[in-house]
Structure 1
């Protein structure tokens, strides 16, 4: 079990951390089945690193493997996954790097030596942070030397533009003729929102809060059966990540957002898709109003 605290030194180990977050945020129960292919699809990677990550978690007794049946969450895994992620010792540094990038204090291309010196990091901690940022899609390893930051939104106006795009896209997602939200996914989304309202809004890390919102909206896009809509939303969520982190200074607004998510899910469960579409448009409009109120903090 001590292996769970090892540095994230490889892609499979990074994915194993994402699987732990997935177990917690989706409210999985003991004995819940996890498919390597579905996890690969969720994280946007091939099956190979997912299989290796699951093997690591089997060794840590977080999941168990049954031949010809797959992987299942264990009771010990639930105990570990339920722990708050707000105590990550690298969380503050991670957010400082994001903030420095937004402020233009980091160049497009950086060396590992420069990052180690600037943030006073060990090689293992730096590697952990670089892998995490690479998995989240805001930098990549250059051939031969250094790391390059991807293009990200750096102005509040850009963040508002993404919400206007989403206000056009996401209500339409709910009206797609092939829309079907799996009942299990529906129940998982409901449980996540209920846990948020029960206090996790105040205790979860801002990265986790962002991931939960992204998971909610992308799950609905996936249920549309329209891969172009899902791809468009994923691209928007990737480029808005850093500004979205900064906008999370006011956690109180997430209580209203969680209640609105539950309202949308309730309408979907009753097959009231037109009403759900209207509720989604209202929800995204409310978020834009909230962003306008805190815009000075984003500059």
Structure 2
């Protein structure tokens, strides 16, 4: 599996993906939610980026972008000397892969995870907090943990896409559908970043987050809480298999072009055509996943 970059590098990726201008505020809790980690590593990363003069810290206000992030995040991190492997994120992916391979039991104790992966107590806490926040493990009443029901087979990932194929085009046809201009521009910036090199350099987590935010943003435009809640739940449980499917990235350029087409249609109010384009897009993704199903198998 790909080695996950440091939290600081992921923040740089997020700044670049979102196209944030100089002066943008970077709230720690927002970053923690987006990167699905606790605030402690986020605060450490923000302080590091401030030390490198990419950010500036204002008393009682937090951190703000001081310099434009123009280089690819990975290259900038290397230039700044902050590209060392993030142990917590690396172990997170090892646990995910071992779970998908059936090497970890459904019920486990924190001490077992700590010993198996050679973690310090602080690293263990960070890893378990991330896993719990993503919903694929939870504390048992009393003592110990249990892995939650989640997608662990290639067939289940394909089934999740068939569900999305039924729901997402319909969401674009909801009465009163509206996608705010700033949301459209944010999504466009993310796709352009990938087409300009991010497909090859972004982490699996960043790629997954970009795809999730795009599709959830479009569904949120429906204003229908049933559509929105269902798609969020599907995205949450398909995360691990999605990470594995990202070992094969050749299809991403086509994905980006289809996403940009969808944004153009929605911006012009051509929702019927957008719904059809969404059906074509998800159908194409489904076919591509079927072709690489061997990657998804233990």
TM-score, length basis structure 1: 0.80
Deviations 1:194-236 (A, max 9, x none): 1101111111111111111001000111111111111000000
Kept after mapping to 2: 8 A contact 1:29/1:73 = no
The answer to which structure, 1 or 2, has the higher relative contact order (CA under 8 A, 6+ apart) is 2
Give the equivalent residue in structure 1 for 2:291: 293
Give aligned pairs, total. Answer: 280
Judging changes above 3 Å, is the alpha-carbon distance between structure 1 residues 200 and 81 closer, same or farther for their aligned structure 2 residues?
A: closer
Which residue of 51, 65, 69 maps to 1:74? 65
Report the Cα distance in structure 2 between the residues aligned to 1:139 and 1:289, rounded to whole angstroms.
30
Kept after mapping to 2: 8 A contact 1:201/1:251 = yes
Kept after mapping to 2: 8 A contact 1:58/1:65 = no
State how 1:199-238 maps to structure 2 within 5 Å: 199-238=197-236
Which residue of 21, 44, 51 maps to 1:29? 21
Judging changes above 3 Å, is the alpha-carbon distance between structure 1 residues 159 and 211 closer, same or farther for their aligned structure 2 residues?
A: same
Give the equivalent residue in structure 2 for 1:158: 156
Report the Cα distance in structure 2 between the residues aligned to 1:222 and 1:198, rounded to whole angstroms.
27
Deviations 1:126-153 (A, max 9, x none): 2221122122221123344222211111
Judging changes above 3 Å, is the alpha-carbon distance between structure 1 residues 268 and 141 closer, same or farther for their aligned structure 2 residues?
A: same
State how 1:1-299 maps to structure 2 within 5 Å: 22-32=14-24, 39=30, 61=50, 62=55, 73-75=64-66, 82-83=73-74, 88-90=85-87, 91-299=89-297
Deviations 1:142-187 (A, max 9, x none): 3442222111111111111111110110101111112111111111
Judging changes above 3 Å, is the alpha-carbon distance between structure 1 residues 58 and 98 closer, same or farther for their aligned structure 2 residues?
A: closer
DSSP-derived class of the 2:146 partner: strand
Gaps of 5+ in 1: 1-7, 9-13
DSSP-derived class of the 1:286 partner: helix
Report how far residue 64 of structure 1 moved: 5.6
Report how far residue 54 of structure 1 moved: 8.0
Kept after mapping to 1: 8 A contact 2:16/2:70 = no
Kept after mapping to 2: 8 A contact 1:57/1:63 = no
Kept after mapping to 1: 8 A contact 2:199/2:252 = yes
DSSP-derived class of the 1:140 partner: strand
Kept after mapping to 2: 8 A contact 1:31/1:72 = no
